[in-house]
Structure formats: structure tokens, C-alpha cells
Structure 1
Amino acid sequence: MERPISVAALLHDEWFRLPTPESNHSATMLALFTSLAKGISEKMRVVFVLLACTLLLITGFLCSSVSSTNDAYPTGYGDESGSCMSHREGLKPLRREIYYGGGEIIDITHKLTPNTPGGTIEGCGEYLSLVKSMKNGSDSNASEMKLHVHVGTHVDAPGHIYDHYYDAGFDVDSLDLRVLNGLALVVDIPRDKNITAEVMKALNIPRGIKRVLFRTLNTDR
């Protein structure tokens, strides 16, 4: 005679709460089903095994779903308990330059520093300041950025050198991002030359190329 099992009791059991990335319920649920399966028929054991496997798969999916939503933040981000505070010395932000997902995107922008070229011989200069600091009693950290728009890696708006485009509102928002994303040809410029029309002609860039990246003397710095 098969032993009756209360489904309501199982649903109210603590093992069936929504899993979190920190919890490991797989072994616990497996032990629970093993205990419940004792003393029942072979047929019911098969049903229990199938049910256990299904729940383990669901648990793994839920855990991966929960953890993947925090990939943009460091491990332990938002942990109010302070359990991660002992590892604060080892915190280091991840700077991604290559992105995957149905293809490969390489970020060619350069990190801004006070020495980044831009406008003057001195370079970018100090462009970032902390106007609110939690160390000084503020409830958050907030920075203020002040710099020339033609510093570092950037694109020129249509209104940059054409005044009628500027008056008509052709700023960088009017650029089609598809122009800036896609396959590109990388060419080497002679390190002892500027990029003149003569140099461009000597590069023999094939017709139809939409994007060209130049390796210059500044690339080597």
C-alpha cells in the first residue's frame, strides 16, 4: 500500500522557497526526496526521482536567473549586512573592452586621464571632482565633470565645422549609431608622416570600406 503524501505540507516546507544565489538547495531537496521515497512502491519511487530532477533543474535555472541580473555589479553589492566589507581592499572594477553576445564588439575608446590629449598642449587636465563624499557625511558619492567636448575618443557632430548645421540642431544625437558600429579596416600610418591626402592615397584603401581605423604615432604612446 502506497503511503499518502500531503502536497500542501511539501509546498509549505522551507525547502521550496525561492532560491537565492547564496543558497544551495539542490542537495537538501535531494535528501528530502530520498527520505520521502523510503517505504513506498517502486512505481512511486520513479515518480519521485523524476519530480526531484525537475525541481533541481528549476532551482538551477532560478539561481542562474537571479545571479545574472547582478552581473553589472560587484559580488556582494548592496549587502547591508556588511559581510563583504572585509574584502573591500580586494575590490577592483572590471574594465570591459570586448563584449560578446551574438558577435564581438571591441570598445576602442581610451580611458580619460588628466594627460589625455585634447585642445591644448597640457592635455585634458583635471576634469573630475568629487562634490559629494560619503566620507564627509554625505548620503552618497557624486562627481562633477568639466571638460572640452573634443577630448579623448570622440566623434564630431555635423554642426562642428558647418554653422548652418549647428543652427539647425545637428548635434551628435543626430548621428546614426549604425555608422559607428560594424566591421572596420585597420591601417598603419607611417610614423614620420601626418595624415595628408598623399598619405591617404598611398594606403590604397579599397572602395566600399565604410570604417577605417588608423594606427599612428599616438597609438604607440
Structure 2
Amino acid sequence: MSEVMKSLNIPKGVRRVLFRTLNTDRRLMWEKRFDTSYVGFTKDGAQWLKDNTDIKLVGTDYLSVAAYDHLVSAHRVFLKNREIILVEGLKLKDVEAGIYDVHCLPLRLYGAEGCPIRCVLIK
């Protein structure tokens, strides 16, 4: 996974990235059953992204940023010291690759470790 992250050539200074993966092409967010074969981060991919970019927000197009077999290890990398915000469950079907302004509007839930948000992309 670290090779995949390296091949993306994410420029320094980019602080937010949304990943539209095969999860969207397979329409996994529209399925009623949870699919453990979804695309997600492994520990080494998450570590490479954290160590080699300025990313502070990672968004993905399924219910977890971490691959099913790496749930704990990849989440630990991202959430250590609360340096990176995770946005999961994005519907990116009609979003083309490109540069956008992204604004995430969370519900304010006191005492919660996560909450629903609405993300707005502006081209």
C-alpha cells in the first residue's frame, strides 16, 4: 500500500485528500450488507501518508478508511496524537479527480468521538 501512496505524487502543501476507489465503482455504499472486501488503508500505507505528506484530513468512499484486515493498525497510525481527521462513508460517484475546496460540516455532539458530517466540494 505504501507504493500506491507514493505513486500518487501528492504535492507538499496539500492538506486534505479524498480517495474515490473501486468501492464507488462497485457501489458498496448502496449495498445493504457490509462487504469486507472493500478498499482501505493498510498500516504501511497510512504510515507512508502520515510521514511523507502534509495531509491532515483523509476521506474515503466506504465505511472505514482502514482495510478490513488492518482495522486497528491503520486507524492507530491515523489517529495517533489526533493529527489526522478521518472522514468515512463519502459518496463520490459523480466526483471527477481534481483539485477542490472541501468543507466538512460536522454535527456538534458533546462527548462523542465521531459524528455525522456533510461534506461540500467546490471546484
TM-score by length of 1: 0.18
Taking structure 2 as the reference length, what is the TM-score of the superposition? 0.27
Which structure shows the higher helix fraction?
1
